[in-house]
Amino acid sequence: MDNPIGNVFREARNRRKIELAEVEAATRIRVRYLRAIENEEWDALPGGVYTRGFIRTYASFLGLDGERLAEDYRKSVEGPRRSPIPEPAAASSARPRERRRPAARAAWMAVAAVLLVAVLAIVVIPGGGDGDNGAVPRRGAVRNDRPQHPRRSQSARHSVSMRLAAGAEVWVCVLDAKGKALVDGQILETGAEEGPFRSGSFTVSFGNGEVSMLIDGREAEIPATSSPIGYSIDSSGSLTELGEGERPTCA
């Protein structure tokens, strides 16, 4: 790298005669983080995806190539990406196992057939001479063997997971379907995470838009705003924005 990342930002800002306070107002990145980028004081930043996001945003404001600068940061500070080296060996070793699968499957099918015959002999044959004696145990067995599977799958379908990550300081209130506070009106620091939580639904309120929210593993679209915002999240993961009087306060 010919020119250090910090110098690139500082020189571009000085050429435009822009103060850090102006950058903060336009990008909502704290002055201390902007100064840390220019001085390459990486330990003062949240690191990882958050620092790369700050670099892209700051670079975009100055008209610089944010993707290249974020990649330069990743290479020089985070190190090279790890690649799964042993993949070829794993692939070659998988072929013999694939060849053995039909024989193993046939053996298991034979064992299962023997077990099925044995179960039928125990359950059916003793009741063969008496219709009443043979029928009652079978009906009882069916009722006892399947009690709760439909309920379990139904509850799984009607719950949703949610996880939060703060991109900057943000006030957060999260209530589950029963109104229990999962995040009780706390201020999350930059880079802080909460969750994952699981519930039939959620209502959430944020002091600003500096937060990422994953709903069932998918990132929700939260507008970049400095004003409070809130949502209700139903069991399907759909978001509905809440008005000021509808947002939870965790008070």
145 domain residue, yes or no? no
Whether residues 51 and 115 fall in one domain:
no
pLDDT at 13: 96
**Closest to 207 in 3D by CA, of 176, 236, 240, 164:** 164
Question: In 1-76, where does DSSP find H-type helix?
Answer: 5-15, 20-27, 31-39, 48-62, 66-73
Q: Distance of CA 129 to CAs 125, 139, 142, 148, Å?
A: 8, 17, 21, 33
* Letter string b/e over residues 2-20, b meaning 16 or more CB atoms within 10 A of that residue's CB: eeebbebbbebbeeeeeeb
Task: Quote the number of domains for the chain.
Answer: 3
**Closest to 29 in 3D by CA, of 61, 46, 54:** 54
Q: How many CB atoms sit inside 10 A of residue 51's CB? A: 23
pLDDT at 39: 96
- And the tokens for 60? 């975009």
154 domain residue, yes or no? no
The residues near 47 (Cβ < 8 Å, ≥ 6 apart) are: 191
Whether residues 17 and 57 fall in one domain:
yes
Whether residues 176 and 240 fall in one domain:
yes
129 domain residue, yes or no? no
19 domain residue, yes or no? yes
**Closest to 188 in 3D by CA, of 219, 155, 166:** 166
Containing structural domain, residue 115: 91-123
130 domain residue, yes or no? no
pTM value is: 0.41
Whether residues 63 and 117 fall in one domain:
no
pLDDT at 244: 83
> Domain holding 11: CATH number?
1.10.260.40
Contact 231, 203 (CB under 8 A): yes
pLDDT at 104: 63
Pick the last residue of a domain from 43, 78, 113: 78
Whether residues 59 and 116 fall in one domain:
no
pLDDT at 32: 96
34 domain residue, yes or no? yes
Whether residues 67 and 109 fall in one domain:
no
Q: Distance of CA 113 to CAs 9, 37, 103, 121, 128, Å?
A: 72, 68, 15, 12, 21
pLDDT at 103: 61
For the chain, list residues with pLDDT below 50. 83-99, 125, 127-142, 144, 149-150, 152-156
222 domain residue, yes or no? yes
142 domain residue, yes or no? no
